Amino acid sequence: MQNFVKVYTEKFGNDGNLNALTALAYDSTYMVAQAINEADTDETAKIIEAMQKLNFSGATGVFTFDENGNPQKGAAIIEMKDGKAQWSTTVE
């Protein structure tokens, strides 16, 4: 996560848009990209199959998916305070 924050801040500055949701969006995008690469096709069913077998390492951690397609990793609990998303806690 520290490297993600460093690279993001170097590229976009520190304008207040960097938060846990930014990192989760980043991970989601690259997770799907990895599944597409591993499926070696743009066929939806094959991409879903690749995602079910995925072992992904991203800014928010390492995770896999269970047989129901649910991610197996800790989750950040985000609270909205004064109109801004703020990390509250992490659950495993």
Given a contact cutoff of 8 angstroms between Cβ atoms, the answer to whether 53 and 72 are in contact is no
At residue 91, φ and ψ (nearest 5 deg) are: -115, 145
- Determine the average pLDDT of the residues in 40-47: 95
pLDDT digits (tens, 9 = 90+) for 48-88: 999 989 999 988 888 888 888 888 887 778 888 898 888 78
CATH topology of domain 2-91: Rossmann fold (3.40.50)
Torsion of CA 48, 36, 29, 34, to 10 degrees: 100
Is the model's pTM score more than 0.85? Answer: no
Residue ranges of the domains in the chain?
2-91
**pLDDT digit string, tens, across residues 8-40:** 888 888 766 787 788 889 999 999 999 999 999
> Which phi and psi angles does 38 have, rounded to 5°?
-70, -35
Question: In the chain, helix, strand, coil percent, each to 5?
Answer: 45, 25, 30
